[in-house]
Structure 1
Amino acid sequence: MTSSPAGQLRSIAIGVTDLDAAERFYTGTWHLDTVARTGDAVYLRGTGSFHHILSLHRGAQPDVRNLTFSVASAGDLAAIASRTPGAGGTVLSGPAPLDEPGGGTAVVIADPQGRILRFVHGDERHAAADAGRDVRKDAPVRITHAVFNSADVAVAQQFFEEALGFRLSDRTRVMAFMRCNSDHHSIALADAGSNTLNHIAFVMPDLDAVMRGAGRMSDAGWPIEWGVGRHGPGNNVFAYFVGPDDFVIEYTADVLQVDDSYKAGAPSDWTWPPGRFDQWGVSKPPSDRIKQAQKKIRFIEQTN
């Protein structure tokens, strides 16, 4: 497959209004593990090798601080830094050492719509033996994608393609699915009136883990807001929830793996009969609550 310097989606940093409560939820109910703490932040890992996949930061309001990709080489960092300005983005810092748990050397940029993206090389990984430790079978492995609402999808798509080497996997009536590795998409861009977070997707080991996780969430008082079902683009199984501070979070599995031979679909390729909301035809429509939550979480403003 054609290489992208962006590598693989590693983690997302979010601001939360009650740090202790958020940590209890993401460890006790969502099934991540705390791997590090600082004075105002908690770093959580999945069952995979990344040092952390989610960091929680104490804040006055919920927000997205940054999205981080783990890249293969220092050369990829240099390529991203050199290509970003010409594609309409801003280099905020780096390459420079990253002063947080997990470390590494990072380039930090802002895309044309103000989202802060970080690209890290040499960050700490958990050993293979540790990654295979005795873990819960219904725990997330890693983050597989994030979906951004975009006031201008064409502008965002062009930036991800020109600066970061993403490719379009599929275009539906409301969303552009973008890939930077064999996962069908690591980023999706949703047509919307503002530039906000739509949701974060955590990949589970398999369908059974999605179902067990969904049952555990429901038992704990966090109802399924959309699903369980199977998407069209990406072919992934899904179950959506609205978590603390109204972050929309997804359990998913069976994400389609693609290569350069994959032909991007157009909106006409992704339509359902009236009343159907997934491939299987079993999912109820998204709840009103999730529709509102998918619009409200903003990104912090960039700083040079």
Structure 2
Amino acid sequence: ARCVSIEYRQLHISLREHLARGRRTLAGEGMSQIVRSLLDLLQRRSYYSGDLLFSTEILRNVTDTFKRATYIPAPDDVQKFFQIVSHMLDLENLEKWEDAHQVAPGAALLMRILEDFIHLIGEAQKPFQSFLVVTNNLMITIQREPVSAVSSDINFPMKGRRGMKDWARTAEEKLYIPKEVFTSPTEETEPETESTVYYVIGAILYRTLGIILPGPIPPAVVNSKILTVTVRPEPQPREPMVVVELSPLYNGTSDPQCVVWDYGNPEAGAENWGTEGCQTLASNTVHTKCLCS
């Protein structure tokens, strides 16, 4: 996991050169070039587990730079960013991730970076506009809604999935957030700024991440795709209202429990899985329904 290919090292040097230029627009444009180069490298499909960790670090730098430069990448580069994450989460990289996780919690970091990138993109969207992207391993929607008037309940995936990749079209996982979640007063009384007048709501269905992340303490196993939702500014509902439906990957398991990955523990191991924050409502052979805060 400590081996890094020379091309990935060179890309990291190139990234630092772009940052050294100082001018915000140049730095932003440079990061878009880095995204294109990284996608080219990953599409060759010959790399070490250390390259996956290095790529995670590159994506973190890219996202932070876009944010600091208030630079919004072109739609084509946004798609490329999501494609990079999807390539990295290919199941053919499973052994590489297992090796990489001996050194650093790479896949968990990738989740955080993806959420930050989603908010970067979402804050540039027009109000009420939604954005959908589907790759081999990800389905993502991003919505931007005025804090004062979230127009309707949030359902994911959205209806009308014709033309999508088969795995996404037939996915049975569901997320439901009633609009009441967004009408609860938030704790913060900061003066309103452009970014706090709107909620950015991102939902991600990960096809493979449940197999790649470190598993829970045996005999428990992760037996579904992973569904995450990220909302900023974070609403403060008084009670759990978010409903998640998950479909089992394997039949024959018993006593399904809804579990949550805890971002707060930086070690990223079996102990990151827990039931706090989600209760199991009902379960049958086809679905497990969870109520989450």
Q: Normalised by the size of structure 1, how large is the TM-score? A: 0.31
Q: Normalised by the size of structure 2, how large is the TM-score? A: 0.31
User: Taking CA–CA contacts closer than 8 Å with sequence separation of 6 or more, which of the two structures ends up with the larger relative contact order?
Assistant: 1
The structure that is strand-richer by fraction is 1
- Structure whose CA Rg is larger: 2
The structure that is helix-richer by fraction is 2
